[in-house]
A and B are shown apart, each in its own frame.
Chain A
Amino acid sequence: MNHSTHIEGHVALPHPLSSRSAMAGLPAITRQLLAYAPQSIWDLETARLPRPLQALRRQARAFAQQHLQPQALTVDALPHLPAGEVHPQAQALLALAGRQGWLYDILPPPLGSGAWSQTPYPLAWRACLKVEEFSRACGGLMLLLCAHQLGMAPILLSGDLPLMWRSFVPAARATRQGRPHLFAFAITEPGAGSDAEDGHGAATTKPGVTARRARDGWVLSGDKVYISGGDLAEQVTVFAALEGEGLDSWTCFLVDKGTPGFRPVRTELKMGMRASSAAHLSFDQVWVSDKAVVGGLRQGWSLNRATLNLSRLPVAAMGVGLAQAAVDIAIDHACQTTLGGKRLIDFQDVQLTLADMIAETCAARALVWQGARTWSPRQGVASMAKFHCTDTAIRVIHQAMDLMGERAILHSARLEKLYRDARLTQIFEGTNQINRLSVIEDLQEDLLARMASAPGY
């Protein structure tokens, strides 16, 4: 193997004019202040996290590299299955992830499987660290493993401890025993994608799924579409409007798989994220008891919005993970590919592109971590992180593809899959256009105050 001493255009590391050598001559205390030890960006960023989260990030990367990445291309290319069926590889991965605690890690035992040492740190932050690493390995498998926590979120945010106990304790136990118990989150309806994610749109939407009062319970009717993992879930948090009312009456119901009248109709043939299903769920006169109401009647809209505020940061983290994967592929390509005996990394334009990609990805990650560092992520912050990071992912993946050129079209090059996976992140959890408007919605009081104080208003 050819061990080079330097990359073209830069002095060799031992050269007295290299920053590494020059800094080494500084007094020890100054060197500590400058923190100039050679270190990868990943190690550097990990070291800046609180210790329990450092461990979480390292464990997530190890799991993703060992179990997700090797299967990513294979699972992506498997044939489409009917609703409710799952490929053995994906089923095995779900079981393994469940046994290792990755499916219920947002809560500590006995509600979940998260480490007690990590519990003091915000849920969104922990979710983002994991989601980034899983996405970096495979977007589709990440969604297969992580979408179910979105289904758990309304129960968690309802603050109803008995319900949490009833729902999560047996589910987490079964999952740890290798029988994954998944949840799914069902808001989108055939006629209402963005309307389910935006107050202004919701105000004028005719609800698709409705709940009618009957026999100490409720009868749900209608359809939900594009529900991630909806066909595999044991339980689905379904949002329905009360009969004759609008979306402001939205109520969240916990519906069990196998309830008469509830069935996954089909799963979609998607552009990417193919390891995870997007299901069309049908509710034909589905009776659920009063106990299935999550968070109280007419609390569905607030639970929905709160869930989105929590989930948009992990979607932003997906963007970061997918961008990081593109950076890693591009760097490997540039370091390992030669033209006329010269490595691509030795060309200045390649170095400029890689530096841009690295910087964009680091900046996106900083935005996610900054937003996720709190227990109560704001709508505006979550939304701006979501659209910015997912747009960044697409830009960075394009840069990587342009760098690789024609060979980027190949499935084996992984970039075209990354693009297909990343493209979904600009659409789900509210399109990036809806998320932009969501930022303004969150700033309304401030903007109204500025308008009121403006001269001549």
Chain B
Amino acid sequence: MDTVIELEADEALAWTDAVARFTDEVIAPLFARPECITAPADCRQALDGLLALGVLNEGPHAGLGLWDLPQSALGRSLSLAYLQQVSSASAAMAYQMHLQAMARYLDRLAGVHDAQGLPLVLLQGHQGLGREALVHLLGGQALTPDHVAMLSDNWCWPDASRPRLLQALPDWTALWLCSWCADTGWRWHRLARQALMCTALAPGMGLDELPIQSVYVLQDISVAGASLSGEAAASAWSTLQAVHAMGLMAITQAQVHRAGLRALEQAHLRRQGGELIARHAAVQQLVSLALSAASEAERDLHAMTRIDAPWPALRELWRMRARHQVRLSAGASAALQVFGGMGYMKDTGMEKLLRQTHHLRLLGGSPAELAHCVACWDTLESA
């Protein structure tokens, strides 16, 4: 029996409260000035604190850490709560710990124990997810030569011409990479940093504290370290894509919730036309757009963590993400609009919330790509 299931509800609450306190007292002050980028050393210090708390679990056994037991409803509940709490102070920190936790999940599956290392994971091919070919594969349909070509291309080992993107603190030491080819299916390899060529790219849309890096394999894969193959690799791929979808949604939801609350606060402070702007329908609509986007995403996330909730199907998660990420983006934009010109300036922090929301929308499959996959999946299944 896993440890999480034995946790009482009030214990779980106390646990997440401790994370919330840590976020308020330690993480939030580090990110209090949105116009400045928090230094990597400060980010790592915050992550070390989360490690000490047990939110990040680097041990060989699953416990109460982030994504230790995603298959358990309570494990999902705790994980989503961790991500949302940390994201309310910093989306970048939440995303970094999300990547670290997923890598540790693979470590445990592969029997790797590397407490000193900092492994990460990459979950996207060089051109997204692989479009309809991926849906055929996941749906157990026969693959046409075109599908095989698309999957083999998208999920090839990254080389100089087809690098993959990683966004994380620069101190990582190993990377879990997946590939697909017609002969072997999915395979995972844990590559040491020395086996990879990593180039820092110019800062992008959001998650400012995490440098964007272009990564490809430098050395022969045959000399690589741990790996997963066969059914275990396929299962891990599906599980982690589902975890990734939930995690990205939770991180974004917390950002937009915060943006909505800040917009609400502003609406009760700022006057226009002789009265508080909260009295104007235009502002009410904007605030509502932000808060309702956040609450609807929260409702769907919460539904996945009920004690009797089944493991969420990837197709439904992608359907949910395709819908929610668009609404969350619109919500963050509406929240900024409440601030008018002030919202556009870096020191209010609203533009950072907006950029991050848009940034997160594009990771793990853009809404358009997810919607395309879901449409294809729906049609195939009904046939």
A-side residues, CB < 8 A to B, are: 77, 188, 191-195, 198, 200-201, 203-205, 225-226, 268-272, 278, 337-342, 347, 349, 353, 394, 398-399, 401-412, 416, 419-420, 423-424, 426-428, 431-433, 436-437
Question: Which of chain A's residues have a CB closer than 8 A to the CB of B96?
Answer: none
| Beta-carbon contacts under 8 Å, B334-383 to A | 336-337, 340-347, 351, 354-355, 358-359, 362-363, 365-369, 372
B232 interface residue per 8 A CB criterion: no
- Tell me the total A-B contact number using a CB cutoff of 8 A: 153
Also in contact, A340 and B212, with CB within 8 A (given A204-B273, A270-B344): no
Please state if B351 and A271 are interface contacts (CB–CB under 8 Å).
Answer: yes
- B88 on interface, CB distance cutoff 8 Å: no
Nearest A residue to B203, CB-CB: A411
| Chain A residue at smallest Cβ distance from B206 | A409
Q: Which residues of B contact A (CB under 8 A)?
A: 35, 124, 127-128, 130-131, 133, 146-154, 165, 167, 201-206, 212, 271-274, 282-283, 286, 329, 333, 336-337, 340-347, 351, 354-355, 358-359, 362-363, 365-369, 372
CB-CB under 8 A from B336, the residues of chain A are 423
Quick check: B128 and A406 within 8 Å, CB to CB?
Answer: yes
Q: Is the CB of A201 within 8 A of B272?
A: yes
Q: Which 5 A-B pairs rank lowest in CB-CB distance, beginning with the nearest? A: A204-B274, A340-B149, A340-B150, A402-B368, A271-B351
Are the CB atoms of A201 and B343 closer together than 8 Å? Answer: no
In the complex, the chain B residue whose C-beta lies closest to that of A430 is B340
A116 to B113, CA, bound (A): 78
Report which residue of A77, A226, A431 has the largest number of chain B beta carbons within 10 angstroms of its beta carbon: A431
C-alpha spacing A436/B282, complex, angstroms: 10
Residues of A within 8 A of B346 (CB): 268-271
A409–B212 CB distance below 8 A: yes
**Could you say which of A192, A406, A432 has the most chain B C-beta atoms within 10 Å of its C-beta?**
A406
Determine whether the beta carbon of B359 is less than 8 Å from that of A409. yes
Q: Are B355 and A420 in contact (CB under 8 A)?
A: yes
Out of B359, B368, B369, name the residue touching A399 (CB < 8 Å). B368
Known: A200-B273, A401-B366, A427-B337. A341 touches B282 (CB 8 A): no
Contacts of B133 in A (CB 8 A): 340
B273 touches A195 (CB 8 A): yes
Tell me how far the C-beta of B149 lies from the nearest C-beta in chain A, rounded to whole angstroms.
Answer: 3
Q: Determine the chain B residues whose CB is within 8 A of the CB of A198 once the complex forms.
A: 273
**Residues of B contacting A340 in the complex (Cβ-Cβ under 8 angstroms):** 133, 146-154
* Known A401-B358, A431-B340; further 19 A-B contacts with Cβ < 8 A: A193-B272, A201-B273, A205-B274, A269-B345, A269-B346, A271-B344, A339-B154, A342-B150, A401-B366, A405-B362, A405-B366, A406-B366, A409-B206, A411-B202, A419-B358, A427-B337, A428-B341, A433-B283, A437-B282
Q: Which residues of B contact A405 (CB under 8 A)?
A: 127-128, 362, 365-366, 369
State whether A403 touches B344 (Cβ < 8 A): no
Do residues A410 and B273 form an inter-chain contact, with CB atoms below 8 A? Answer: no
- 19 A–B pairs (Cβ distance < 8 Å), ordered by A: A77-B203, A193-B340, A200-B273, A204-B274, A205-B274, A268-B347, A269-B345, A269-B346, A270-B346, A339-B127, A339-B150, A342-B149, A349-B368, A405-B127, A405-B369, A408-B362, A410-B204, A416-B204, A416-B355
Q: Across the interface, do B201 and A412 meet the contact criterion of CB distance under 8 Å?
A: yes
- Shortest A407–chain B CB gap in Å is 7
Say whether A225 contacts B202, CB under 8 Å.
no
Q: How far is the CB of A355 from chain B (nearest CB, A)?
A: 14
Q: For A420, what are the chain B residues with a Cβ–Cβ distance below 8 Å?
A: 351, 355
Contact in complex: A423, B333 (CB < 8 Å):
yes
> In the assembled complex, which residues on chain B have CB atoms less than 8 Å from the CB atom of A433?
282-283, 286, 337
Complex-state Cα separation, A350 to B356, whole angstroms: 25
A281 to B: closest C-beta gap in Å: 14
**Contact status A269-B347, CB under 8 Å:** yes
Q: Taking A198-B273, A437-B282 as contacts, is the C-beta distance between A271 and B355 under 8 angstroms?
A: yes
If A269-B346, A409-B362 touch, whether A77 touches B202 (CB-CB below 8 Å) is yes
Query: Given that A339-B127, A340-B154, A411-B202 are contacting pairs, would A426 and B337 also be in contact in the complex, using a CB cutoff of 8 Å?
Result: yes
Query: How distant is the Cα of A4 from the Cα of B201 in the complex, in angstroms?
Result: 33
Chain A residue numbers with a CB within 8 Å of B273 are: 194-195, 198, 200-201, 203-204
Cα distance A424–B201 in the bound complex, in angstroms: 26
Partner of B127, one of A269, A337, A416: A337
A401 near B362 (CB under 8 angstroms)?
A: yes
Determine the residue in chain B with the shortest Cβ distance to A411: B202
Residues of A within 8 A of B127 (CB): 337, 339, 405
Contact between A342 and B146 (Cβ–Cβ < 8 Å)? Answer: yes
Question: Which of B202, B329, B340, B351 contacts A410, CB < 8 Å?
Answer: B202
| Chain A minimum-CB-distance residue to B322 | A402
B271 contacts across to A, CB distance below 8 A: 191
> Does the CB pair B151–A402 fall under 8 Å?
no
Which residues of the other chain, A, contact B367 by a CB distance below 8 angstroms?
402
- Which of A406, A410, A436 is B201 in contact with, Cβ under 8 Å? A410
Residue of A77, A225, A402, A403 ringed by the most chain B CB atoms within 10 A: A402
Which chain A residues border B355 with CB–CB below 8 Å? 271, 416, 420
CB closest residue in chain A, given B202: A411
Closest chain A residue, CB of each to CB of B154? A339
Residues of A within 8 A of B272 (CB): 192-195, 201
**A342, chain B: closest CB distance, angstroms:** 7
* CA of A100 to CA of B326, assembled, Å: 43
